[in-house]
Amino acid sequence: MTEQGARTPSDQAREPAAGPAAQAAAEAAPRPRTSTRDREDLHRRLVTWLATKVTDPEVSELVVPESNGMSSETLLFESTWRDDTGAGPGSGSSGAVVTQACAARLVPDPDAAPVFPVYDLERQFRVMRLVGERSRVPVPRTLWLELDPEAIGSPFFVMERVEGLVPPDIMPYPFGSWLSEAPHADQARLQDASVRVLAELHDADVTAGDVAFLELDRPGGTALRRHLAEQRSYYEWVVADGARSPLIERTFEWLEDHWPAAEGAPVISWGDARIGNMMFRDFEPVAVLDWEMCAVGPREIDIGWMVYLHRFLDDIAIQAGLPGMPNFMRLDDVAQAYERHAGHTPQDLDFYTMYAALRHAIVMSRVARRQVLFGEIAMPEDPDDMIMHRPTLEEMLAGTYWSRL
């Protein structure tokens, strides 16, 4: 679910080496398959397409980020062209050579069993441009959108490539990374700045008309109801093979039984609001990435997701015998920081962290099915075993998870 910008070799060299336990866990874990596309063919077609936008383009070798991402395809490259007309998105006088570091976001390869049933790149492109224009959120500059799949074999868009560090998913950053090994003061600074980004996003200067394209076309009288209906539809798509999850269905029931008495006003919801979808320099955010799960909804959807997705990775580290980062992204700390930055007191976070765990359970169930398809794991007898955080979700339903932290 992550789209990565750029990490330079010197950035990677600054990251501390992980310990033996983390290395062993990383080696044992299969790397998710994301694409079956021919890279050389993509490069040739990309150059041909870019020639319709700028003069005399050249494109470097295409690079696929390895430390993050499984739900879509991102290509990193550098392009140069001659700015004869000034019509391109770069700057420079007539005839000057423009150099632009780029990242291209592609609809996932259908042969790679995509994680989600629909990938609306136009929606992502539009929300990135809107957020960039109407808020202080550091969104990469959008360059081109191409919806015709004939161009390179897939719809795609191109944005500027930002340099920075990403807290990695593979291996998870609590296993030993530039973030987990940083001084506590720097971790706290990154946490606070990340929460500030959420506040700035939710306070973007937009009208209901501006964000109408982000409304989910699902039944329900409120944005949160429609958001949940979207998750139900996604779950039904995932379990179309008949292997339904009793645990996920129990969680849907829990959410109905604990529905918030008052939903907050809807705002732009990033959807995949986590630090693994952000790039940092000096522990400050420089790019907010991966908008494929964007919608409108209460602020707490993003707050709960940011907290729980850290807990998900931290629990994996603890289960591997590592100390993890137990003092990072704690629920109360995040809520207090959000209130300080947004002037809004988060409500019903027990509901919204459970909702995050549910949403992630559906994603993990789909990811496991992809691994079965590609021969990476065997299909378990119990469908609930496809949920990596099954024990956590069971503890949350039992009311014992947060009390032990």
Cβ-based neighbours of 403, under 8 Å, separated by 6 or more: none
Q: Give whole-number Cα distances, 68 to 21, 31, 334, 335, in Å.
A: 20, 10, 24, 27
Residue type, 320: A
Query: Which residues does the annotation mark as catalytic?
Result: 272
User: Angle at CA 122, nearest 5°, toward 119 and 125?
Assistant: 110
Q: What percent of the chain has pLDDT over 70?
A: 86
DSSP calls for 36-72: ---HHHHHHHHHHHHTTTSEEEEE---B---SS-SSS
Amino acid 30: pLDDT? 45
Amino acid 352: pLDDT? 98
**pLDDT confidence tier of residue 25, bands split at 50, 70 and 90:** very low
- Name the DSSP class of 278: E
Q: Give the CA dihedral 5, 356, 120, 228, nearest 10 degrees.
A: -170
**pLDDT confidence tier of residue 120, bands split at 50, 70 and 90:** very high
**Mean pLDDT value across residues 331-354:** 97
Amino acid 343: pLDDT? 97
Cβ-based neighbours of 293, under 8 Å, separated by 6 or more: 1, 270, 271, 272
pLDDT digits (tens, 9 = 90+) for 360-391: 999 999 999 999 999 999 999 999 999 999 99
Amino acid 36: pLDDT? 55
pLDDT at 32 over 70: no
pLDDT digits (tens, 9 = 90+) for 270-295: 999 999 999 999 999 999 999 999 99
* Single pTM value for the model: 0.88
Q: Which residue has the higher pLDDT, 220 or 32?
A: 220
**Mean pLDDT value across residues 255-263:** 96
Which residue, among 383, 357, 361, has the nearest Cα to 372 in the 3D structure? 383
Mean pLDDT for all residues in the chain: 89
pLDDT at 111 over 70: yes
**pLDDT confidence tier of residue 53, bands split at 50, 70 and 90:** very high
**pLDDT confidence tier of residue 66, bands split at 50, 70 and 90:** low
Which residue, among 271, 280, 303, has the nearest Cα to 187 in the 3D structure? 280
Amino acid 266: pLDDT? 97
Map tokens 């420079």 to a residue: 92
Same fold, 9-160 and 173-404: no
pLDDT at 19 over 50: no
**pLDDT confidence tier of residue 94, bands split at 50, 70 and 90:** low
Amino acid 11: pLDDT? 36
Amino acid 104: pLDDT? 96
Q: What percent of the chain has pLDDT over 90?
A: 81
pLDDT at 78 over 80: yes
Map tokens 């907050």 to a residue: 264
Amino acid 95: pLDDT? 75
**Mean pLDDT value across residues 177-183:** 97
Question: What is the gyration radius of the CA atoms in the chain, in angstroms?
Answer: 21
Which DSSP helix (H) or strand (E) runs through 4? none
**pLDDT confidence tier of residue 90, bands split at 50, 70 and 90:** low
Q: Superfamily for 173-404?
A: Aminoglycoside phosphotransferase (APH), C-terminal lobe (3.90.1200.10)
Please give the CATH number for the structural domain made up of 9-160. Answer: 3.30.200.20
Q: Residue ranges per domain, the chain?
A: 9-160, 173-404
**Mean pLDDT value across residues 96-121:** 91
**pLDDT confidence tier of residue 336, bands split at 50, 70 and 90:** very high
| CA torsion through residues 350, 351, 352, 353, sign | positive
Round to whole Å and give the CA distance between 308 and 251. Answer: 15
